[in-house]
Amino acid sequence: MEPTTLSTERLFLRPFTPSDAQEVYAACQDPDIQRWTMVPSPYEHAHAHAFVNELVPNGWREDTAYPFAVRLGADGPLVASTGIHLHGADSYEIGYWAVREHRGHGYVTEAVAAVARWAFTEAGIVRLEWRAEAGNAGSRAVAEKVGFRFEGLLRAGLIRNGTARDCWIGALLPSDLGLTPALPYLTPAAG
């Protein structure tokens, strides 16, 4: 996949670059990001360096992950991160976090909606999954605002720091956003 940029009314989304390392490091010092996401904990400069210099470009090049830096305008501050990664054969998952001082303004919801639309219209993704550790109410609120439908609890569905944890799962289909799906969808009632 060729790296791409997206924009919304307030936001500019682009793949992370090496110049973003310090902002990523600073954002990931937030205990809530370390608690609720899959970033390493403790989060060190080396983690940010590897993320922007290796993980991001490799993901785009290998067509396995599409991480976006979310900024207030092209030259504005980093307010969030969102991205899609291949979770399994034909299974894509979205993830996100917000910089602490930029929470509560709807930036993540706006960015996730933009990335989901791009995934369905440009990347040909058929189903986009959202997963979060059970109890992560902030992540669930964003997912539901975007239109993800809650599908249930996966017992021991998430492994973090050597511990199995329950996770919530939801999904978004193109039709949930009023878009035409890349593939026909045969529901059980139709079959």
Give kind and range of the element (H or E) at residue 66. strand 65-71
Give me the pLDDT at residue 191, please.
55
Check whether 90 has a pLDDT greater than 90.
Answer: no
pTM value? 0.94
Long-range contacts of 156-159 (CB under 8 A, 24+ apart): 157/131, 158/131, 158/133
Binning pLDDT at 50, 70 and 90, where does residue 106 land? Answer: very high
Looking from the CA of 4 toward its CB, the CA atoms found within 13 Å total 15
pLDDT digits (tens, 9 = 90+) for 147-187: 999 999 999 999 988 899 999 999 999 999 999 988 888 88
Tell me what the mean pLDDT of segment 115-137 comes to: 96
Which amino acid belongs to residue 119? A
